[in-house]
Structure 1
Amino acid sequence: MRAIALMVRALSGVNWLVGNVFSWLALGIVAVCFTVVVQRYVFSTTQVWMQDLYVWLNGAMFTAVAGYALLRDDHVRVDIFYRPASLQRKALIDLIGVFIFLIPFCWVVFIYGLPFVQRSWRIWEGSPNWGGMPGYWVLKTFILVFVAVVFIQGLAMVGRSILVLAGKQDLLPDYLRYGHGRE
């Protein structure tokens, strides 16, 4: 059981780090968007690559922090049954949800996204907008980053559920336990 707890900590730690690093892109998004607005309305000019940049930063941030949002239980869920449930029932719901919904979803996104990303890398795809940013393949790669961070957090959820169902939730730090945060 200690190995499972260690795995949950390690996988959740990856998403904690990625989430905290990529959440800083929000500041860059605001700065670039503000600059584009000032250019357009004060100087009557615009740079297409800057418009691409804030859209791309937004896409990169939201795909990269998806696992972090899952770690923090910030995803939207219909919790008519989940919120009032006991810890064991929540663990069972999460365990079933990961295997029935999350892992197949990750698989489908990976299978359909991989050729899309590979093609983009193969042709060094740039912006579809004239005068836009080069390196569109970097943004498309975040499709696979999304799959990776959500999948590893799903594995962490499985481990956490196993620990709870085995009565070993105490092996996890407080921030990884049920009852922490919004639950």
Structure 2
Amino acid sequence: MHALLKISRLIDALTERVGKAATWLVLVVTLISAGNAFVRYLFNFSSNGLLEIQWYLFSAIFLLCSGYTLLKNEHVRIDVVAGRFAPRAQAWIDIVGTVFFMAPMAVAVLYLSWPIFVESYRVGEHSSNAGGLLVWPVRALVPAGFALLVLQGISELIKRVAFLQGLIGDPNAKSPAATPESELVRVIEAQRGGPR
């Protein structure tokens, strides 16, 4: 199990790097979007390529950060029910959910999207829009994103099993660090003179 935990830490490190790098794409897509709007209204000029690059970058953010979101334990789940269970029961719910739902779906999408990407690359597929971009780079994001999600799912599975064996702490435990929302609440309460 200790060897598997080392593999888990390597996967987590990869996911962390990809996720943090991909979050910078939010700034890039914002700048492109603002620049595109500025040029369109100021010079009455528009480009399908500029619109498509925004869509491509949004796809990259969404697909490349799915594993990162899983690493940070921020995926949408039914905490109303699962949150009432003990940590060990929650670990079992995560194991069952990963093995029977997340992993099969992610592997199926990875398997089905790979030939589409390969064919798109082989023919040099371009957008059907005038001035559009190559399509194969965005098609490559689908198998890449789901491969990262599968890897992170394996890491999370290893951590849940290690937790059940008593080798590590609860992987579902939230970090004691303040969230931006809780920090904002603290500041507002401090300005009001305390909680009400």
Q: TM-score, normalised by structure 2?
A: 0.85
Matches within 5 A, 1:67-82: 67-82=67-82
Question: 1: distance between equivalents of 2:19 and 2:64?
Answer: 7
Q: Which residue of 2 aligns with 1:159?
A: 158
Instruction: Letter of the 2:33 partner, please give it.
Output: C
- The residue number in structure 2 matching 1:149 is 148
Note the C-alpha offset of 1:42: 1.8
Q: For 1:52, what is the secondary structure of its paired residue?
A: helix
Which residues of structure 2 form unaligned runs of 5+? 177-196
User: Does the alignment pair 1:105 with 2:99?
Assistant: no
Q: TM-score, normalised by structure 1?
A: 0.90
Unaligned runs of 5+ residues in structure 1 are 171-175
Q: Deviations over 1:103-150 (max 9, x none)?
A: 1101210222122111111111112211112x2101100011111111
Aligned partner (choices 172, 175, 188) of residue 178 of structure 1: 172
Equivalent pairs, count: 176
Query: Aligned-pair distance for 1:181?
Result: 4.0
> What CA distance in whole angstroms lies between the structure 2 residues aligned with 1:84 and 1:5?
28
Separation in structure 1 between the aligned mates of residue 127 and residue 157 of structure 2, nearest angstrom: 39
Which residue number corresponds to residue 173 of structure 1?
none
Match of 1:124 in 2: 124
Cα root mean square deviation, aligned: 1.6
Show the counterpart of 2:45. 45
Counterpart Cα distance in 2 of 1:65 and 1:54: 16
Give distance in 1, aligned partners of 2:174 and 2:168: 12
Shift in Å at residue 9 of structure 1? 0.9
For the residue of structure 1 that corresponds to 2:78, the secondary structure is coil
Larger Rg: 2
Deviations 1:35-61 (A, max 9, x none): 111111222111221111111111112
For residues 128 and 95 of structure 2, the distance between their equivalents in structure 1, rounded to whole angstroms, comes to 41
Contact 1:72/1:181 (<8 A) preserved:
no
**After the TM superposition, which parts of structure 1 deviate over 2 Å for at least 4 consecutive aligned residues?**
none
Letter in 1 for 2:94: D
The share of aligned pairs that are identical, in percent, is 24
Flag the structure with more relative contact order, 1 or 2, with Cα contacts below 8 A and sequence separation at least 6.
1
